[in-house]
Amino acid sequence: MLKILLDRTEPSADVVKQQQNFTQILAACNYQKQVMNPWRYWYFPLWILAVLMIC
Amino acid sequence: MALQLSAHQQSFLLEEERKLVERAKENPRYFAPLYERYHDAIFRYIYRRVDEEEQAYDITSSVFVKALQGIHKYEYRGLPFSAWLFRIAKSELYQSFRDQKAQRTVSIDKVVLKQVIEDWTEDYRQEDVDRLLSKLRLLKEVQLQLIEMRFFEKRSFKEIGDITGLSENNAKVKTFRAVLKLKQFFHQIE
């Protein structure tokens, strides 16, 4: 369903700038990169397995 | 709506922008100048299409996260970098509509509505405003987008073409047809 809003006030450029900044975006991007990395979940089990195999 | 995009269509600015993109490909930290340049325009594009401000911020941040993640795939084709960002914004917006996280909204200034009605009828009446708003709902999404960008956001055909992936002429023709359709709906006797 389409919603139509008339004469809607927009936040000022300063307010928009205060709400979001590049550092937050970069941090979110780095976090997503980490989470999406499949090795993240295999890293420790593989280490443990390697140590066990060496032993 | 203040969209400072026309300057970016100038070739020397496009070249400068291309260099910024190349630097950002090497290190995401260098994406900052591009972010500063386009964040406001992208936010406003999204804000006018969703009903809640918080959703507009959320979608805007996901647009820039996607842009940062995909910058290495970006290829310069003579278009402003903003065209690429607007396309990501459009895809993120429609994804949030599909996921029902946001509601499709059209933000219109009454002054613009008045201008349209005065062009199409002899005098301006409140019932005509209501009729035009109800007829907007009958348009196809593509037609609505074109009318939205051209009349409610006052974008140039070149800019509309860049955002939608059409040529300037094609954007002009399709917008004209969309307006014609809306006009037909408006004058239809119920």
Q: B40 — contact with chain A (CB < 8 Å)?
A: yes
Cα–Cα dist B150/B1, whole Å = 12
Interchain pair B61, A8: CB under 8 A: no
Min Cα distance A31 → chain B (Å) is 10
Cα–Cα dist B79/B17, whole Å = 10
In a domain, A8, yes or no: no
* Lookup result for tokens 């140590």: A51
pLDDT digits (tens, 9 = 90+) for A5-45: 999 999 999 999 999 899 999 998 888 888 887 777 888 88
List the domain range (segments joined by +) for residue A33. Answer: 22-54
Residue type, B107: S
Cα–Cα dist B114/B80, whole Å = 33
Please check whether residue A28 is in contact with residue B47, taking contact to mean a CB–CB distance below 8 angstroms. Answer: no
pLDDT band, residue B180 (cuts 50/70/90): very high
Closest residue to B60, CB basis, from A2, A20, A32: A20
In a domain, A1, yes or no: no
Instruction: Domain B110-187: state its class.
Output: mainly alpha
Number of folded domains that form chain A: 1
In a domain, A2, yes or no: no
The total of other beta-carbon atoms located within 10 Å of residue B66's CB is: 17
pLDDT digits (tens, 9 = 90+) for A44-55: 888 999 999 998
**A-interface mutation test, from B47, B55, B64, most A Cβ less than 10 A away:** B64
Min Cα distance B170 → chain A (Å) is 26
Q: Helix (H, G, I), strand (E, B), or coil: what is residue A5?
A: strand
Please check whether residue A29 is in contact with residue B65, taking contact to mean a CB–CB distance below 8 angstroms. Answer: yes
Q: What is the DSSP string of B98-132?
A: HTTSS-BEEEE-HHHHHHHHHHHSSS--HHHHHHH
How far CA B83 is from CA of A19, A20, B42, B139, in Å, comes to 24, 21, 10, 24
Lowest mean pLDDT among B45-54, B72-81, B151-160, B170-179: B72-81
Q: Where in chain B is the domain with CATH 1.20.140.160?
A: 110-187
In a domain, A33, yes or no: yes
Closest residue to A7, CB basis, from B43, B47, B109: B109
ipTM here:
0.79
All residues of chain A having their beta carbon less than 8 Å from the beta carbon of residue B43 are 16, 20
- B64: tokens are 């820039």
In a domain, A47, yes or no: yes
Cα–Cα dist B127/B111, whole Å = 15
Min Cα distance A53 → chain B (Å) is 37
Q: B109 — contact with chain A (CB < 8 Å)?
A: yes
In a domain, A46, yes or no: yes
* Lookup result for tokens 């290829």: B75
* Torsion of the alpha carbons at A10, A16, A19 and A20, rounded to the nearest 10: 130
pLDDT of B144 > 90? The answer is: yes
CATH domain B6-98 topology: Rna Polymerase Sigma Factor; Chain: A (1.10.1740)
pLDDT digits (tens, 9 = 90+) for B101-125: 889 999 999 998 888 888 888 877 8
pLDDT digits (tens, 9 = 90+) for B24-51: 999 989 999 999 999 999 999 999 999 9
pLDDT digits (tens, 9 = 90+) for B4-28: 545 555 677 888 888 999 999 999 8
Q: Where in chain B is the domain with CATH 1.10.1740.10?
A: 6-98
Size of interface A-B (CB pairs under 8 A): 76
Please check whether residue B136 is in contact with residue A34, taking contact to mean a CB–CB distance below 8 angstroms. Answer: no
Interchain pair B109, A16: CB under 8 A: no
pLDDT of B100 > 90? The answer is: no
In a domain, A44, yes or no: yes
In a domain, A27, yes or no: yes
